[in-house]
Amino acid sequence: MKLQKTIIPLLCIFASMTCTYAQFSVRAGVNLANENKVFNGNNDMFTGYQADMLNAFNIGVMYQLLSSKGIGGETGIIFSQKGSNFSYTDAADASIRGYNETGYIEIPLNAKYIFRIGVFGIFASAGVYGGCAFYGKTTLEAETDIETPIQYATFANRLDAGYNAGGGIELFKKLQIGVNWSQSFISQDITENIVRDTPVPHKNRNRILAINLAYFFK
């Protein structure tokens, strides 16, 4: 219901535009990814769990549709890498470090506004996204890194959805450099081997600060 209340107004923006100007673009960027985890009563296995930003990336194609006044929207398909670095102290009082890494295919749906003066422009966008994880792994750092796949109890636990908002600058109607913040509103039930040889079930929410460069073809 929360997602529907946001999507319907965005679709109305697309449908109501006149004198539209359509452009396809290729977009790529750096993700500063992090996660909010809620553990299901397993904290006796470790203490002081802390998640930090993971350097990741995104790449994909976007479709932008604008009216003559610079009001419009955008959608597309994006591969986005999410996760986090983490550290904690285990039951033997040893310091453990590692990282979680998950690959998502996402479809954003955003309202967008561009204010242009000559070849220069400033844009802002906001909307929602939906995505599905197609791979995930947890790596414990050691002399020989230990990698284990992230486990999803059902297909539904692979799904992610949330809000995003951002802005940036445009040059020559060809290049856009922007910053985008996204925050999941779905708690995924997943299991990761955060502790060596011990699956740890928990709830997970993704958040990302992305810095992107887009090139427009038309």
Render pLDDT for 30-47 as a digit per residue (tens, 0 to 9): 999 998 888 766 555 677
Render pLDDT for 54-94 as a digit per residue (tens, 0 to 9): 999 999 999 999 988 889 999 999 999 999 999 888 777 77
- What pLDDT sits at residue 117? 94
Cα distance between residue 97 and residue 196, in whole Å: 11
- Burial of 22 (C-beta count, 10 Å sphere; 0-12/13-18/19+): exposed
Inform me whether the pLDDT recorded for 163 exceeds 70: yes
Render pLDDT for 184-201 as a digit per residue (tens, 0 to 9): 998 888 888 777 767 788
Considering the entire predicted model, what is its pTM? 0.84
Inform me whether the pLDDT recorded for 215 exceeds 60: yes
In the block, residue with structure tokens 């670095």:
85
- What pLDDT sits at residue 69? 86
Range scoring the smallest mean pLDDT among 126-130, 152-156, 168-172, 206-210:
152-156
Inform me whether the pLDDT recorded for 96 exceeds 60: yes
DSSP code for 199: E
Parallel/antiparallel/unpaired status of strands 146-149 and 120-140: antiparallel
What domains lie within the chain, and their CATH numbers? 2-72+85-216 (2.40.160)
Extended beta strands in the chain, E state: 21-39, 46-52, 54-66, 71-90, 95-117, 120-140, 146-149, 151-152, 159-171, 175-184, 188-195, 198-216
Contact present, 76 and 47 (Cβ < 8 Å):
no
- What pLDDT sits at residue 42? 56
- What pLDDT sits at residue 2? 54
Q: Which of 105, 106, 103 minimizes the C-alpha distance to 136?
A: 103
Inform me whether the pLDDT recorded for 10 exceeds 70: no
Quick count: other Cβ atoms within 10 Å of Cβ 137?
A: 16
- What pLDDT sits at residue 142? 80
Of residues 54 and 50, the one with the higher pLDDT is 54
Inform me whether the pLDDT recorded for 133 exceeds 70: yes
- Read out DSSP for 17-37? --S-EEEEEEEEEEEEEEEEE
